[in-house]
């Protein structure tokens, strides 16, 4: 028997109402739960911290007209069957809820051997189909960051370091500083 022989109604298909009751750290993509354990390793935490510091400095340089904020591991409720918790998000515009319910301007996933398949495939397609303008995949092991920009509905790999996050908000990020710690 292979997965094609299993009727879809036999597979798990959870909703946000189920998700709210779960203990521990989870993501849910298209009704399928994904455990978020064990906790991220030290290199992952350092990369996340360094990106936040780098982005915060860039947002401050952009000035008061840039209405964007940085969030670390905040739930993005995409729809009733999909809730993800990107490592870092930059969210622009009015945002008053406890959790995000619209696409962020930029997402950073800090990948590892355990999460690489999901980060480079499942989440890549999820973020692309939900029109997240910028998706960055940071790899602590390789000390590199792949930058994808949404062009005509599809992600394209780029080397750009300038990000138009929204109206009156253009920032520049020297992503090598994530790895060097020169922030």
Domain spans of the chain?
41-180
- Rounded to the nearest angstrom, the gap between the alpha carbon of residue 22 and the centroid of all alpha carbons in its chain is 21
The label of the residue with tokens 């997402």 reads: 107
How far, in Å, CA of 106 to CA of 172, rounded? 13
Q: Which residues pair with 148 in a beta bridge?
A: 135, 157
Cα atoms in the 13 Å half-sphere on the side-chain side of 151: 7
pTM over 0.95: no
Neighbours of 18 (CB within 10 A): 16
Q: Give 38's contacts (C-beta < 8 A, 6+ positions apart).
A: none
User: Considering only the top CATH level, what class is 41-180?
Assistant: alpha beta
Q: List the pLDDT tens digit at each of the 183 positions of the chain.
A: 455 678 877 878 899 999 999 999 999 999 999 998 888 899 999 999 999 999 999 999 998 888 999 999 999 999 999 999 999 999 998 888 899 999 999 999 999 999 999 999 999 999 999 999 999 999 999 999 999 999 999 999 999 999 999 878 999 999 988 988 666
């Amino acid at each position: 028997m292979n997965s094609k022989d299993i009727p879809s109604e036999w597979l798990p298909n959870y909703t946000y109402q189920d998700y709210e009751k779960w203990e521990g750290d989870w993501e849910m993509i298209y009704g399928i739960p994904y455990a978020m354990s064990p906790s991220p390793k030290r290199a992952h935490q350092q990369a996340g911290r360094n990106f936040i510091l780098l982005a915060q400095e860039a947002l401050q340089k952009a000035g008061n007209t840039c209405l964007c904020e940085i969030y670390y591991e905040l739930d993005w409720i995409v729809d009733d069957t999909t809730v993800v918790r990107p490592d870092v998000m930059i969210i622009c515009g009015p945002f008053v809820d406890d959790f995000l319910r619209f696409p962020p301007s930029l997402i950073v996933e800090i990948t590892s051997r355990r999460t690489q398949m999901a980060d480079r495939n499942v989440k890549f397609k999820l973020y692309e189909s939900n029109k997240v303008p910028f998706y960055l995949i940071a790899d602590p092991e390789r000390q590199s960051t792949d930058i994808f920009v949404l062009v005509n509905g599809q992600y394209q790999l780029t080397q750009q370091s300038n990000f138009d996050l929204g109206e009156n908000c253009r920032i520049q990020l020297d992503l090598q500083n994530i790895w060097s710690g020169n922030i």
